[in-house]
Amino acid sequence: MSHRVLVTDKLAEEGLAILKAEPGVEVVVDTKLAKDPAALKEALREADGIAIRSGTQLTADVLEGQPRLKAIVRAGVGVDNIDVPAATRQGIVVMNTPGGNTTSTAEHTMALMLSLARNVPRANDSLKSGKWDRNAFTGSELEGKTLGVVGLGRVGLAVARRAQGFGMTVIGYDPLLSAEKAQEHGIESLRLEEIWPRADFITVHTPLTPETRDIIGAKALAAMKPTVRIINCARGGLVDEAALVEALNAGKVAGAAIDVFDPEPPPGDLPVIKHPKVVVTPHLGASTEEAQVSVAVEAAQLLCNFLKRGQVKFAVNMPALDRAELQDVKLYLDMAWRLGMLHAQMDRGSIRNARLIYRGEVAAKNTKLITASFAAGLMESSLDEPVNLVNAMSLARSRGIEIEESSAEAPGDFGTMVQTEVTTERKTYVAAGTLFGKQFIRLVRLGSYLLDAHMDGTLLVFTHHDRPGLIGFIGRTMGDHGVNIAQMNVGREAPGGEAIGVVNLDSVPPPEALSALGENPNVLSSSVIKLPERGALPPWLQL
């Protein structure tokens, strides 16, 4: 099977070479598509994967109705040009290449900081225009100054290390970095309000989120030293540009350097771009030979490994999954998918919530994936859209179905067991599976009854009074209607009480056969459950 990969932004040759060399991968490079959403949407109908940088907007509209598209790889960090929730709803995995451009971006931040401190761009313009003006550009040293870093992730910490090398004191804030950890990096962790009045330079390195938008706004600017210099090499929208221009004009901020805008490209006459105290670059943080090769190579490897080998790494909308791990959990994914399908076909009301209990060996595995596989099985027959490991949990949540899981490594009745409980408006249904001989999937519990049934093909599930001759009656009735029984299992709580039977059939019994069963007063209920044949995997596991 050939996988088509679209590349719609400029990607380094080294990355393209990897894609082109992968057998079974066809590469289509068309950077014009980045500027033409309608053509991009059309082209994606024939694509299995797409590799982009920041120039291509993958909006909900572009991503909707793309049954073939399976993976988006962003050669870079920020995924704000991708509607990730829309991709997730469509079951498309979104991956990025987080570390490849950290150094380049940190170095660009330092370049901007030094340019600001030493007036390099203005001095350059002045000299090139024929002037020799040594007095207008007196700068300021970095050594001994305080740098405030907002966002101490990969880039923020890399900037902090470099600034410390220049003899700066670094203070900072990141909700995910404890004061102790910050201390280990030689950084004093402070609240934002404490950073503003202390810093001589402030640099932002957070993603753009509703919480971080305008994180440097009028109020923050008013609390800063009038000599402060601000750098944004992360995302447009983190600094309120109108408020910044006002503060620069009022002499409340000494200068700013900006690499990123919202939107991009920005209008050419944007006041912040024109402002003499502002240094600007057109989103060049990651634009070095080294970073571009690194992110392109990584992006190409991510796409090939996903499309050809099912490996998921650096996904922003699903847990990581490498090849070995996939092999390790494959049977459990299959089992959980079948258990989900079994529940979906039980005669029940609408689902409120579900719970999975992992006992024994399975508890040490990637149970989040197994739970997602169960959710996919539970919902796939009811939904029009494709359901897979990427979107199953979010589709469940969007329908108000809470799915939770718990694990206990101590084995119960079985060395390994996945117990599933689905609560509907009527009652809670329980079904559990185990692995027999480490390769065969078995249904070992239905309701309160223990069994040992195959979980494939056509199953007749019936509840009954445990009476002599009843099993013979079931066999005869199926035989009378030309249905062969492959295997039969009965579970009961006590002799003579209520019992359950699970019969693996070679074909689907006709409705008359079920009516005939219903005429026997000892048969309390009967239903036919259709599961995939043994070895048949969901499309998203056929890798």
Ligand X SMILES: O=C(O)CC[C@@H](O)C(=O)O
Residue numbers at the binding site for ligand NAD (CB under 6 A): 77-78, 98, 101-102, 105, 150-156, 173-176, 205-207, 211-212, 233-235, 259-260, 283, 285-286
Q: Which residues have a Cβ under 8 Å from the Cβ of 324 and sit 6 or more positions away? A: none
- Sheet with 201-204, strands from edge to edge, namely 188-189, 169-173, 146-150, 201-204, 229-232, 255-258, 278-280
Choosing from 37, 78, 411, 532, the residue that interacts with ligand X (CB under 6 A) is: 78
477 is a site residue for ligand X (CB under 6 A): no
How many helices (DSSP H) and strands (DSSP E) are in the chain? Answer: 18, 22
294 is a site residue for ligand X (CB under 6 A): no
77 is a site residue for ligand X (CB under 6 A): yes
Return the number of other C-beta atoms located less than 10 Å from residue 176's C-beta: 8
User: Residue 94 touches which of ligand NAD, ligand X, none (CB < 5 to 8 A by kind)?
Assistant: none
Spell out the alpha helix ranges (H) of 169-240: 179-184, 192-198, 218-222
Q: What is the closest distance, in whole angstroms, from the C-beta atom of residue 14 to ligand NAD in the complex? A: 19
User: Residue 53 touches which of ligand NAD, ligand X, none (CB < 5 to 8 A by kind)?
Assistant: ligand X
CA distances from 113 to 107, 226, 232, 239, 378 (A): 10, 16, 10, 16, 54
Q: Which is catalytic among the residues 264, 289, 404, 493?
A: 264
User: Residue 305 touches which of ligand NAD, ligand X, none (CB < 5 to 8 A by kind)?
Assistant: none
Are the beta carbons of 91 and 372 closer than 8 angstroms?
Answer: no
CA distances from 341 to 33, 121, 337, 386, 478 (A): 40, 65, 6, 15, 24
Taking the C-alpha atoms of residue 514 and residue 520, their distance in angstroms, rounded to an integer, is: 10
Q: List beta partners, residue 315.
A: 95
User: Residue 538 touches which of ligand NAD, ligand X, none (CB < 5 to 8 A by kind)?
Assistant: none
264 catalytically annotated: yes
Taking the C-alpha atoms of residue 514 and residue 508, their distance in angstroms, rounded to an integer, is: 11
Q: Which is catalytic among the residues 74, 205, 283, 454?
A: 283
Amino acid (1-letter code) at residue 391: N
* Nearest-5° Cα angle at 338, 333 to 341: 130
205 is a site residue for ligand X (CB under 6 A): no
Q: What is the closest distance, in whole angstroms, from the C-beta atom of residue 109 to ligand NAD in the complex? A: 8
Q: What is the closest distance, in whole angstroms, from the C-beta atom of residue 26 to ligand X in the complex? A: 24
User: Residue 340 touches which of ligand X, ligand NAD, none (CB < 5 to 8 A by kind)?
Assistant: none
Q: Which is nearer to ligand NAD, 101 or 419 (CB)?
A: 101
Q: Which is nearer to ligand X, 111 or 168 (CB)?
A: 111
Please list every residue from 424 through 453 that binds ligand X, using CB under 6 A. none
Q: What is the closest distance, in whole angstroms, from the C-beta atom of residue 196 to ligand X in the complex? A: 26
User: Scanning the structure block, which residue is given the tokens 């699970």?
Assistant: 502
76 is a site residue for ligand X (CB under 6 A): yes
Q: Which is nearer to ligand X, 194 or 262 (CB)?
A: 262
Q: Which residue is nearest to ligand NAD (CB)?
A: 153
Are the beta carbons of 277 and 255 closer than 8 angstroms?
Answer: yes
Q: Extract the tokens encoding 80.
A: 């704000």
Please list every residue from 90 through 119 that binds ligand X, using CB under 6 A. 101
Q: Which is nearer to ligand X, 286 or 516 (CB)?
A: 286
Taking the C-alpha atoms of residue 235 and residue 214, their distance in angstroms, rounded to an integer, is: 11
Taking the C-alpha atoms of residue 94 and residue 82, their distance in angstroms, rounded to an integer, is: 9
Taking the C-alpha atoms of residue 177 and residue 188, their distance in angstroms, rounded to an integer, is: 11
465 catalytically annotated: no
Closest CA to 106 of 162, 150, 159: 159
Q: Extract the tokens encoding 443.
A: 């249904």
Q: What is the closest distance, in whole angstroms, from the C-beta atom of residue 257 to ligand NAD in the complex? A: 11
User: Scanning the structure block, which residue is given the tokens 């299959």?
Assistant: 334
Q: What is the closest distance, in whole angstroms, from the C-beta atom of residue 264 to ligand X in the complex? A: 9
Q: What is the closest distance, in whole angstroms, from the C-beta atom of residue 98 to ligand X in the complex? A: 8
User: Residue 175 touches which of ligand X, ligand NAD, none (CB < 5 to 8 A by kind)?
Assistant: ligand NAD
User: Residue 453 touches which of ligand X, ligand NAD, none (CB < 5 to 8 A by kind)?
Assistant: none
Q: Which residues have a Cβ under 8 Å from the Cβ of 115 and sit 6 or more positions away? A: 121, 257, 279
Please name the helix (run of DSSP H) or strand (run of DSSP E) that holds residue 241, with its range, or none.
helix 241-249
Exposure string of 200-210, with b = 16+ CB inside 10 Å and e = fewer, is bbbbbbbebee
Quote the distance between the C-alpha of residue 334 and its chain's center: 21
Q: Which is nearer to ligand NAD, 165 or 282 (CB)?
A: 282
Q: What is the closest distance, in whole angstroms, from the C-beta atom of residue 407 to ligand X in the complex? A: 36
Are the beta carbons of 359 and 367 closer than 8 angstroms?
Answer: no
Taking the C-alpha atoms of residue 432 and residue 343, their distance in angstroms, rounded to an integer, is: 11
Q: Which is catalytic among the residues 162, 235, 359, 445?
A: 235
Among 107-115, 284-292, 311-319, 321-329, the segment contacting ligand X (CB under 6 A): 284-292
Q: Which is nearer to ligand NAD, 109 or 371 (CB)?
A: 109
Q: Which is nearer to ligand X, 78 or 271 (CB)?
A: 78
Q: What is the closest distance, in whole angstroms, from the C-beta atom of residue 9 to ligand X in the complex? A: 7
Q: Which is nearer to ligand NAD, 284 or 524 (CB)?
A: 284
Q: Which is nearer to ligand X, 207 or 532 (CB)?
A: 207
Q: What is the closest distance, in whole angstroms, from the C-beta atom of residue 287 to ligand X in the complex? A: 6
70 is a site residue for ligand X (CB under 6 A): no
286 is a site residue for ligand X (CB under 6 A): yes
185 catalytically annotated: no
User: Residue 107 touches which of ligand X, ligand NAD, none (CB < 5 to 8 A by kind)?
Assistant: none
Choosing from 3, 41, 53, 464, the residue that interacts with ligand X (CB under 6 A) is: 53
Choosing from 126, 287, 345, 394, the residue that interacts with ligand X (CB under 6 A) is: 287
**Active site residues per annotation:** 235, 264, 283
Binding site for ligand X (CB under 6 A): 53-54, 76-78, 101, 283, 285-287
